[in-house]
Amino acid sequence: MLSIAIGCDDAAIDMKNQLVEFIKNKGITVVDYSCDQYPELTMYPDIAMRVAQAIKEGEHERGILICGTGIGMSITANKVRGIRAALCHDTFSAQRARKSNNAQIICLGARVIGSELAKVLVDAWLDSEFDGGGSAEKVERISHYENIPHLRS
């Protein structure tokens, strides 16, 4: 069964709660790493790192990160080697995040989009799978650059 990690900061608790209910109603397991569940995680970088690490370690297949704009969460999650987090505000981007980039994490901005659009984007992202093909070589190239030592220092 698919397991989704979700995390948000204080700017996105309402949207996160709506998405948790929405996803659970699909029969998907959701584990919440948000600031309202873990009081020690008050800043979005801490939440993004916790979700990204959990996915990297195989605890969950995919993740959803939400902050005010989604920008900070996506920047932070992409610091974890092997993680591809995509900021999405439209269905085409949500689909391509999976199909072309094999993104394990979708990032959303609670101050940028509404909860109903967030549900549509999550649906599009969940319903999409990595196509491979010509995109596989490009995703491999991303991994190549992640592993160059002088780029990590």
CATH code, domain with 60: 3.40.1400.10
CA distance 87 to 75: 9
Q: Looking at residue 37, what DSSP letter applies?
A: T
Q: Model-level pTM?
A: 0.94
Domain extent for 138: 3-152
Q: Mean pLDDT throughout 17-23?
A: 98
Question: Structurally, how many domains does the chain consist of?
Answer: 1
Of 97, 93, 100, 140, which is closest to residue 117 (Cα–Cα)? Answer: 93
CA distance 121 to 126: 8
The number of angstroms, rounded, from the C-alpha of 118 to the middle of its chain's C-alpha atoms is 12
Of 92, 80, 144, 86, which is closest to residue 117 (Cα–Cα)? Answer: 92
Predicted local confidence at residue 135, as pLDDT: 85
Dihedral of CA 55/34/102/149: which sign? Answer: negative
Catalytic residue ranges: 67
Element (H, E) at 76: helix 71-77
Predicted local confidence at residue 51, as pLDDT: 98
Please check the confidence at residue 151 and state whether its pLDDT lies above 80: no
Contacts of 138 (CB under 8 A, 6+ apart): 100, 101
| pLDDT one-digit tens code per residue, 71-84 | 999 999 999 999 99
* pLDDT band for position 153 (cuts 50, 70, 90): low
| pLDDT one-digit tens code per residue, 99-140 | 999 999 999 999 999 999 999 999 999 999 988 888 889 888
